[in-house]
Amino acid sequence: MLFTHFGISGPLVLSASSHIEQITPGRYTVKIDLKPGLTDQKLDLRIQRDFSENINRIFGNSLSKLLPAKLIPVAVRLSGINGDRRINQVTREERLKLVQLLKAFPVTVKAFRPIEEAIVT
């Protein structure tokens, strides 16, 4: 899967899109596991470790080892955690919500790219 300037792409997305006949904006949501190599428990331990190493940083700046820079503001917004809060103020419940977000990151399908842009390999 590829993240592009217009959305998501790649073989998996192209294959899935062939099964959708018409797009109703906002009707479909793709859930992406951003950390497929980690179980929920291991991801939580990883986040706890990162947080303990950066306990005085603000939440919005604490995810740089976990996510690409351009995805961080989106993840912060979707997490519901104020990006200006200190890491030591993030509750266990909020941290677990972050784990769930990263394991099922929602991307709403708004439209398809034109067929003229289709790629044949």
For 86-100, how does the pLDDT look when each residue is reduced to its tens digit (9 = 90+)?
999 999 999 999 999
What pLDDT does residue 11 have?
74
Residue 3: strand, helix, or coil: strand
What pLDDT does residue 119 have?
63
CATH fold of 34-103: Helicase, Ruva Protein; domain 3 (1.10.8)
What pLDDT does residue 10 have?
73
Task: Give the whole-angstrom CA distance, residue 55 versus residue 43.
Answer: 18
21: pLDDT strictly greater than 70: no
As a whole number, mean pLDDT of residues 21-46 equals: 86
Give bridge partners of residue 30 from the DSSP assignment. 107
Residue 5: strand, helix, or coil: coil
Q: Within the chain, which residue ranges are assigned CATH 1.10.8?
A: 34-103
What pLDDT does residue 98 have?
98
Residue 28 pLDDT class (50, 70, 90 cuts): confident
Q: What is the pTM of this model?
A: 0.80
Task: Give the whole-angstrom CA distance, residue 2 versus residue 100.
Answer: 21
What pLDDT does residue 27 have?
72
